[in-house]
Amino acid sequence: MGKVYLVGAGPGDIDLITVKGVKCIEEADIILYDRLINKDLLNYAKKDVELIYCGKLPHYHTLKQETINKFLVKHALKGKVVTRLKGGDPFVYGRGGEEAEALANQGVDFEIVPGITSGIAAPAYAGIPVTHRELSSTFAFVTGHRKEGEEEELRWESLAKGIDTLAIYMGVSNLPYICSMLQKHGRKKETPVALIHWGTTGAQRTVTGTLETIIEEVKKADIQNPSMIVVGEVVNLRSKLSWFEKMSHDQENASIAVNAL
C-alpha cells in the first residue's frame, strides 16, 4: 500500500512552504494540487510525476470533493506515494479533515503536513499583527460564506462582541452582509477593516477602511477574490508596520533605475 500526504503549501510566497512539505512534493508519484498554490512548487517534483489539477473557483469546481477523495484512496491502494497539495493549511478551510476521514475509512496510511494559513500570513505581509498586547488578545478564523437562520445570528453576535480580531476567509462577495451583521451586533462603524488581495505574493494589494467605508473602498480599488478580510483595531498598525509592499515598491523602483542606465 502507498501513502498520502495532505500538505499545506502556504499562502502563496514559494518560500513559505515547510521543508517537510517540499520533501513530500519531491517524493510524490502523484500530486493533486489546488488553484491557489504557487505553481512553481511543482518544479520540486520528479520528472515522471503525474499531476492532477483540483482547482476550485467560487460556484465552479474542476473536481468534486467526493471525486478527489476517491482519487486519493485509489492511487494509494495501488502503492503510490500521493501528495495532496493545498493552499495555506489543509485543516483550515481546506477540506483536509474530509479527505483524512476518507483515507481513514479505507485504511489508507496518511500524514498531515501543516502549512502557514493566509489568515495569519496575509495580515503579516500587510503589516497587521493578528494579536497585540494592547489591542488584541483574541482572534478568530471565520468563513465569510452566508447562512440563514437563528444560529447564524448567534454566531455573528458572538464574533462581534467576543473577539478582538477577525480573519475572514472567502468573504469578498458577502462583504456588505459581513459589515452589516457586525454593526448590527455591536461593532462600532469606525472599526478598522483591511482587505488583502493575493497576500504574500508579488500581486499583493491592500485596501483599508472601516465597517462603514470599506465597501466603497473595495469597489473603487476593484478588489476581488482571493482576498483576506481583517477586522479589528490592529488594522491601524498597518500605517506603521507595512513592510512587504514598501519593499516590493522599493525593489521595483531600483529595477527601473538600473534599466534606465
What strands, in cross-sheet order, belong to the sheet with 30-33?
Answer: 50-53, 30-33, 81-86, 3-8, 109-113
Residue among 3, 34, 181, 228 flagged as catalytic: 34
Query: Could you tell me which residues are beta bridge partners of residue 206?
Result: 196
Residue among 56, 70, 74, 164 flagged as catalytic: 56
Active site residue 34: yes
What is the DSSP code (8-state) at residue 109? E
- List the pLDDT tens digit at each of the 261 positions of the chain: 899 999 999 999 999 999 999 999 999 999 999 999 999 999 999 999 999 999 866 655 568 999 999 999 999 999 999 999 999 999 999 999 999 999 999 999 999 999 999 999 999 999 999 999 999 999 999 999 776 677 888 899 999 999 999 999 999 999 999 999 999 999 999 999 999 999 999 999 999 999 999 999 999 999 999 999 999 999 999 999 999 987 876 666 555 555 555
Q: In 3D, which of 130, 99, 114 has the Cα closest to residue 228? A: 130
pTM, 2 dp? 0.90
Active site residue 48: no
Active site residue 164: no
Is the separation of the CB atoms in 52 and 31 below 8 Å?
yes
